[in-house]
Amino acid sequence: MKTLIKREEWTDKDGLTFTLGRAFIQDRPQIEEMYDGPHGDASFQGLPPPGPEARCAWITHLVEGAVTICAWLQGKVVGHASLFVDPEKRDAEFLLFVAQPFRNRGIGTRLTLMALDCARELSLERVWLTVEMYNFRAASVFEKCGFVLSDRSGGERTMILEV
């Protein structure tokens, strides 16, 4: 899926400058490095999948099957937002991850807004996600970006944004 999203620089409140933009297959090793690193805390909602083969396939899918926007600091990936597009339904499941030391700087919000620009560009009708009930930080990012609660069950909320 082609998008016109360009890479852009963004400086946070502490003066750190991040690059944000679409990730492609050549960015795969850096995403893997982030998840394999000490701050990948590889266990949010069971992702990324445990086991080297499943993890490898999942990360490849992020950059080849999904539309993935990354945040880089000095060439290292520190977070990503991914849209798993269903062309028939004209919707996408959304996933967001920021490595622990870089949270609460606004990266998650910026990645989400950029991914929603991609969703508009792809003429999707809606973007949806599931988030654990007590993940208040994530829910606050999603609400701020326009997602609304659609369902609560099994310890998770489903949130939807009509594009």
Ligand X SMILES: CC(C)(COP(=O)(O)OP(=O)(O)OC[C@H]1O[C@@H](n2cnc3c(N)ncnc32)[C@H](O)[C@@H]1OP(=O)(O)O)[C@@H](O)C(=O)NCCC(=O)NCCS
Which residue ranges make up the site for ligand X (CB under 6 A)? 44, 95-98, 103-109, 129, 131, 135-138, 140-141, 144
The nearest distance, CB 63 to ligand X, in angstroms, is 17
* Choice between 68 and 108, CB closer to ligand X: 108
The nearest distance, CB 30 to ligand X, in angstroms, is 16
What is the Cα gyration radius of the chain?
Answer: 15
* Choice between 95 and 124, CB closer to ligand X: 95
φ, ψ dihedrals at 81, nearest 5°: -125, 135
* Choice between 22 and 48, CB closer to ligand X: 48
The amino acid at 33:
E
CB neighbours of 83 closer than 8 A, spacing ≥ 6?
66, 67, 68, 92, 93, 94, 115, 118, 119, 122, 124, 127
The nearest distance, CB 71 to ligand X, in angstroms, is 8
